[in-house]
Amino acid sequence: MIAEGQMISFRNVVSKFYTLYPNDMNLVIEEMGKELEMRNLTPSGPMFYSTITDFREEPLTMEVFVPVEENQLPDMQDKEIIFRSYFLIESMIMTRVSNDYETQTIEKHIELIRYTEEHNMEIGSHFFVMPRVVEDHIYIEIYLKALFEN
């Protein structure tokens, strides 16, 4: 199932770019946690990421995002991490993976692309991936900005 009219919206978001192989994702999550801790930043929402390069090719380049409670970086000259006071992407379509994550995630990316083609939509962003926990079950939500062509 694909849901239209979705958005990702958070205040005070930090991000960092990583180049990695999919098997290294847990290391990236740990490293991003250390980056926040080192800067005394407090997460206030889910970690999510955007795949900048083609999701079928390795290594991947990703931007990893985390909403934080603080409204600025402790060191505004920090070049390692990016701060945004507001993060918003509207007009997105979204699908969810609930099992067999490695295989299903790739299939769902392709499903979103097909959906845009079948509905005459123009892709307006990279893919965004956001893990969610609902009633002790892990889901992975995959988002893509898609606008109807005029």
Reported as a single tens digit per residue, the pLDDT across 30-78 is 999 999 999 999 999 999 999 999 888 899 999 999 999 999 999 988 8
pLDDT score, position 41: 97
Burial of 40 (0-12, 13-18, 19+ CB in 10 A): exposed
Quick one: pLDDT at residue 102? 79
What the chain holds in terms of domains, given with CATH numbers, is: 3-148 (3.20.80.10)
Phi-psi sector, 23: left (phi>0), alpha (psi -120 to 50), beta: alpha
Across residues 142-148, what is the average pLDDT? 95
Q: 78-126: per-residue pLDDT in tens?
A: 899 999 999 999 999 999 998 888 788 889 999 999 999 999 999 999 9
Indicate the residue type of 83.
F
